[in-house]
Amino acid sequence: MPVASHVIDVLVIGSGGAGLSAALAARDRGASVLIATKSALGASNTGRAQGGIQAAVGPGDTPESHLADTLAAGHDAGDPALVRALVEDGPQAIAWLARHGVAFSTEDDGRYRVIRCGGASRERLLQAGERTGAEMVKVLRAAVRGSGADVWESSTLTSLEQVGTRWRAHIDRSGIAATVDCAAVVLAAGGGLAGEAAARGIGSTNHPDATPEVLNLAIALGAEAVALDSWQSHPTGSVWPQALAGYALPETTRAYGATLHDAHGERFVDELAPRDVVAQAILDVVDAGRGATAPNGAPGVWLDTSAIDREHGAGFTAARLSYVQRRYRKAGIDITRERVLVFPVLHYRNGGLVIDTDGRTTLPGIFAAGEITGGVHGTNRLMGNSLLDTVVYGRRAGRAAAEVSR
């Protein structure tokens, strides 16, 4: 027997950056909010994002430049209206995060530190230490817990049904059935690549909870989707040592000067090209028989991380990439002196549910934000845009969902 039905204005499914941002935005509009999340609040791909977040806040940068870079990286397959909303909201998204307490890294003069990453024409990537996504989750999770939103952890959405103009969600709360009646639903459960990678027998950077059942449920209800077969690989997934197999070295490693080499020591790609270009170049080198081989027989190419200190001086890696350095040192490798063997791993679903600029799906009263959606990134995502996407479209979807409940 289900427990008594809960009545709420806005139900948010998922608690990564998009779900947390949506919940806060809806609460700011006065809506009652319930977040249902499959495991712990904040356990998500967002928390694993190391590289940073892009926004046009640096000297000489503009949203127009960010727009052009995003469309080009996505092979002009992105929805221009969605991309424009993303980049124009970028600076205010950074300001919103900072107000909540995200401590972005700064230069000595107090300005935000911004660096150039793959596919970007400007220095635009902001960081909060080395693990920007984890810092965002920590701050937003605390804000949600203090916002008055209800939180159901260890709770899985099993079905949705429309009841008049409202929606009824059926949720499994650690084996106890519950129903939630609400005016609007925000789907922010991610793209589900961990499940896809396991089914394909390949590596993935995704959180183990990143499985695609919520995306599939929405499609089964009739929600329109786009580019579901478009995936992004992270070019520099660790191959060896075995303890770090599949760990993605952040793109900042290459932004700071690490270079890619084949088995003969030859460089073969612009390390700051878009991710799909770098990943394909690695695959091509290995297919051509010029790849290196790990002790366990796994293929890869060399990422020369020692080039970073050679370019910037001793201690730079320790200062800017201490987390990466510690992980490898624990596994027996000093990345300031030794090369690292890497190979692409499955990283991001570019496609997903069709949305408008307020996060509305094609189902009335159902909104979506983050990696579960499509159209924002085209068929290849610009590095650093995923964290921006979670905030911009999480907030937009949360605000619009709150308006439905009025």
Catalytic (active-site) positions:
275
Cross-strand bridge partners of residue 13: 36, 187
Strand residues in 132-213 grouped as ranges (E):
150-152, 155-163, 166-173, 176-187
Contacts of 159 (CB under 8 A, 6+ apart): 169, 170, 217
